[in-house]
A = this chain, B = another copy of it.
């Protein structure tokens, strides 16, 4: 009789202690650590402190480190003789508005049963990124509980500003190179291909964020007195926004596509084979037709092509009833997703020039660009990539795929540039997780098998 391999014992421990793992996640989800709104700053500290205490309990040396913004949790534990890994995730969450669309309060996590009988964790941050972070933490806990140690040495970096662009983390990484030294980075903030198919993300779109306003008269005007004569900045903003995309779905800003290249034919063939249909991808959200560039695959539109979305717009009277006003200004927030070698700074300048060119003589635009980061492509020959793919395939019973992601994780670029680390991006989010939306959820299966996946990946990397 042979004793089971350690990894099997650790997986069994994960299964038998899932309820306690869930309780810990719920405790973290109850903390409203919204990073983009300064009113929640104390809760960001609270979430960081919660993680520090939890990781200290696991035997990590852990502390909440000052960054100039919300604190970053840095925790370290020695492990086996394999490569040392830097794990990255974030404890901050998106704002919850519109609050009235939440079925239950966003910071009161609950386990709900879906129509198909499956269970899901519902709360802001359930998936992005608290649930994902805790898959890794719980995997470490299980290894420690069963074997007394970790298969490899691990440094965790769990930040509090990912949803606001990781604005202080870049300097923090630069200033703490020695402390964060590792052989590879592990990042858990991405998704599965579908409910059954695990995925490793090897390309990430970049981002450029802008806020701007169109200003006309020097004060709000009565539309009965000035309507028909005075420029209305809402109309001008609307025209400017309408001019961003052409009828072919392409972005009509001159120079925008500089640095964008088509996919290599073999990758394009692989992606065609994945056969992502509008019915599958858009059907669940109530849509039927991709709105992107004509002639492109849907999977290209969402992962390998650059985009522009207005994320918010406001101006004039927005209260109850009506007000016959022509406002003096109108506002919009916009994000660009960037790919290939697009330069965020050049995209920003091209956008500003384009918007200004749309405005009539009495209107002007003012811009408040906040941040940007270029796209990232990871090496397909990363040593740990094959190992992780095998571990994921073993856990899920289906071959793990390598995909591009539409989202941005800007710090991955800094890991390469400042720490010399390639990043393995593995996550268990699903398309219907309502990330950034009301009623965000994380399937209990994602959480449970996510923990198990990391148990296997750590084992595989150590081997």
Contact = CB atoms under 8 A, between A and B. Distances in A.
A223 interface: yes
Given A285-B230, A437-B222, A312 B311 contact: no
Interface of A: 36-38, 94-95, 97-98, 101, 163-165, 191, 205, 207, 209, 211, 216-232, 234-235, 237-239, 241-245, 281-282, 285-293, 298, 301-302, 305-327, 330-333, 335, 337, 360-362, 370, 405-408, 431, 434-439
A229 B320 CA distance: 33
10 contacts: A38-B320, A98-B220, A219-B438, A225-B406, A225-B435, A232-B310, A309-B326, A312-B316, A318-B333, A321-B370
Contact of A225 (B94, B310, B407): B407
A288 to B, nearest CB: 6
A68 to B, nearest CB: 16
A101 to B, nearest CB: 8
A427 to B, nearest CB: 12
B282 A219 contact: no
Nearest to A298: B229
Given A309-B326, A312-B327, 16 more contacts: A38-B320, A98-B220, A211-B322, A216-B286, A219-B286, A223-B335, A228-B301, A228-B406, A229-B281, A230-B290, A235-B245, A239-B241, A242-B243, A311-B322, A317-B333, A322-B333
B438 A227 contact: no
Interface centre among A234, A237, A238, A301 (most CB of B within 10 A): A238
Contact of A224 (B101, B219, B408): B408
A253 to B, nearest CB: 14
Contacts of A94: 323, 325
B335 A322 contact: yes
A241 to B, nearest CB: 4
A229 B322 contact: no
Interface centre among A37, A317, A406 (most CB of B within 10 A): A317
B245 A242 contact: no
A316 B313 contact: yes
A38 B37 CA distance: 29
Given A95-B317, A311-B322, A313-B313, A217 B286 contact: yes
A329 to B, nearest CB: 10
Interface centre among A38, A292, A306, A322 (most CB of B within 10 A): A322
Nearest to A241: B238
Contact of A438 (B216, B220, B335): B220
A191 B226 CA distance: 13
Nearest to A39: B320
A213 B1 CA distance: 70
Given A229-B298, A241-B238, A337-B227, A222 B313 contact: no
A292 B326 CA distance: 14
Contacts of A310: 232, 234-235, 238, 316
B311 A325 contact: yes
B318 A222 contact: no
The 4 closest A-B pairs by CB, nearest first: A224-B407, A36-B321, A218-B286, A228-B307
Contacts of A191: 225
Nearest to A225: B406
Contacts of A232: 291, 309-310
B437 A325 contact: yes
B322 A209 contact: yes
Contacts of A439: 219
Contacts of A285: 217-219, 221, 226, 230
Nearest to A276: B229
Nearest to A216: B287
